[in-house]
Amino acid sequence: MRPLALLTGFCWLLSTVSLLGQTGVSSSVFHFLNLPASPRVTALGGHLITVSDADATLALSNPAALQESSHQFLSFNHSFQVAGIQSGYASYAHHFKKIGWSGHLGILYANYGELEWTDEYFTTLGTFKAGETALVMGASKVFAERLNLGMNAKIIQSRLGAYNAAGIAVDFAALYSDTSSQFTATFLFKNIGTQLSAYDEVGSSEPLPFEIQVGLSKRLRYLPLRFSVMYRYLDRWNILYEDPNGEQGILLLDGTVQERTASSIWLDNFFRHFVFNAELLLGKQENFVLRTGYNHLMRKELSLSNFGSLAGFSFGFGLKVRRFRVDYGRGVYHLAGGSHHFSISTHLSAFRR
């Protein structure tokens, strides 16, 4: 019980961080750092910090998830977003048996394509290209029987036409795992860092998308189902976006606006912190996996009033074919579309057997 007591005390201590109110959660740069690393993460609501297995791409979200079974795991992931935007993540993991550490190296990228360049009067002046990349290095180690600690370091480069910016960031994570009950709990500090250079040379440095996350995962004993619950933005309470030009209420069918009560606003804000997901693991070696997730924050921010949609929902599958695993994830962002995420991965050590 000592590792569990240590993790519980650690979580309690960090939960005393002052909670800051704000309008929305987008007042920062380099948001591509929060893109899902793989189709698996896309299918599970865009966030997965609660599972630790041989899938080394999970280390981008949670460095403490990296373990010995990820040895020589190679993965290529690519996502097709709306409006021709594309992103991806390629990574390799290695376990260093002599020192007991596991490490990974990866490249996260986002390509926004060719965009129209206009002035303040909307006069077209030409086109420009935009893209962002991050080199990610991380390591983890088992420091107690059930406790893994991990860290990621990220070197960030962003180019938006003639404007460039650079930055550095780190993640710190602790993962408690009880294999007998198939239960895990994670505490994560994500994107602690700063800009090294700003887009505007005379401007001040802008903040990175820092957040604190906690999560729980449990696999059922008599059913091949694993579900996870994650709570985002533990470092702040109010993550509502209040549009000063919008109607502050619920638009009814007769055209009137019903004002929202304090309790409904509180509940809305509360559930925006959560991401729920589940994986159905089929086959003796989990050769086929079905996945689904729900992100309430995404649904509330990207849904249109009086138009039904699946915004915030996601789904996908994973299939193992010989030495390779193929995955697909579909994230529904808006009525206008979403993302299609594909990957292929393998353990290089499997080719030497």
pLDDT tens digits for range 90-138: 999 999 999 999 999 999 999 999 888 888 888 888 899 999 999 999 9
What is the three-class DSSP state of 160? Answer: strand
**Comparing 7-16, 149-158, 326-335, which segment has the lowest mean pLDDT?**
7-16
What is the predicted pLDDT for the residue at 117?
87
C-alpha–C-alpha distance, residues 300 and 272, integer Å: 8
The one-letter amino acid at 221: R
b/e per residue 102-112 (b: at least 16 CB within 10 A): bbbebebbbbb
Of the ranges 22-26, 80-84, 297-301, 327-331, which is most confident? Answer: 327-331
109-112: which pairs have CB atoms within 8 A and are 24 or more residues apart?
A: 109/133, 109/134, 110/32, 110/35, 110/85, 110/86, 111/85, 111/86, 111/87, 112/85
Output phi, psi for 7, to 5 deg.
-65, -40
What is the predicted pLDDT for the residue at 35?
95
Write the CB contacts of 137 (distance below 8 Å, at least 6 apart in sequence): 103, 104, 105, 152, 153, 154
Per-residue pLDDT tens for 145-187? Answer: 899 999 999 999 999 988 999 999 999 999 999 989 999 999 9
C-alpha–C-alpha distance, residues 199 and 162, integer Å: 9
What is the predicted pLDDT for the residue at 243?
62
Compute CA 116 distance to the chain's CA centroid, rounded to the nearest angstrom. 29
Give me the sign of the Cα torsion angle 213, 46, 134, 302: negative
> For 189-253, where are the alpha helices, taking DSSP H only?
none
Of the ranges 247-261, 280-294, 300-314, which is most confident? Answer: 280-294
What is the predicted pLDDT for the residue at 258?
62
The answer to whether residue 144 scores a pLDDT higher than 80 is yes
b/e per residue 77-94 (b: at least 16 CB within 10 A): bbbebeeebebbbbbebb
> By the 8 A CB rule, do 329 and 314 touch?
yes
What is the predicted pLDDT for the residue at 4?
43
Strand 163-178 and strand 147-160: the pairing is antiparallel
> By the 8 A CB rule, do 70 and 95 touch?
yes
What is the predicted pLDDT for the residue at 308?
74
C-alpha–C-alpha distance, residues 68 and 72, integer Å: 10
What is the predicted pLDDT for the residue at 248?
54
The answer to whether residue 72 scores a pLDDT higher than 70 is yes
Please give the mean pLDDT across all residues of the chain. 88
Per-residue pLDDT tens for 247-279? Answer: 555 554 445 556 778 898 999 999 999 999 999
What is the predicted pLDDT for the residue at 26?
61
**Comparing 65-69, 71-75, 112-116, 253-257, which segment has the lowest mean pLDDT?**
253-257
Write the CB contacts of 84 (distance below 8 Å, at least 6 apart in sequence): 113
21 pLDDT tier (thresholds 50, 70, 90): very low
C-alpha–C-alpha distance, residues 56 and 151, integer Å: 14
pTM of the model: 0.87
b/e per residue 139-154 (b: at least 16 CB within 10 A): bbbbeeebbbbbbbeb
8 pLDDT tier (thresholds 50, 70, 90): very low
Q: How many C-beta atoms lie closer than 10 Å to residue 178's C-beta?
A: 14
**Rounded mean pLDDT of 181-200?**
95
Q: How many C-beta atoms lie closer than 10 Å to residue 249's C-beta?
A: 12
What is the predicted pLDDT for the residue at 247?
52
Walk me through the domains of the chain, giving residue ranges and CATH numbers: 2-352 (2.40.160.40)
To 5 degrees, how large is the angle CA 250–CA 253–CA 257?
Answer: 35
Residue with tokens 């069918």: 253
C-alpha–C-alpha distance, residues 32 and 84, integer Å: 15
Six-digit token string for 131: 């893209």
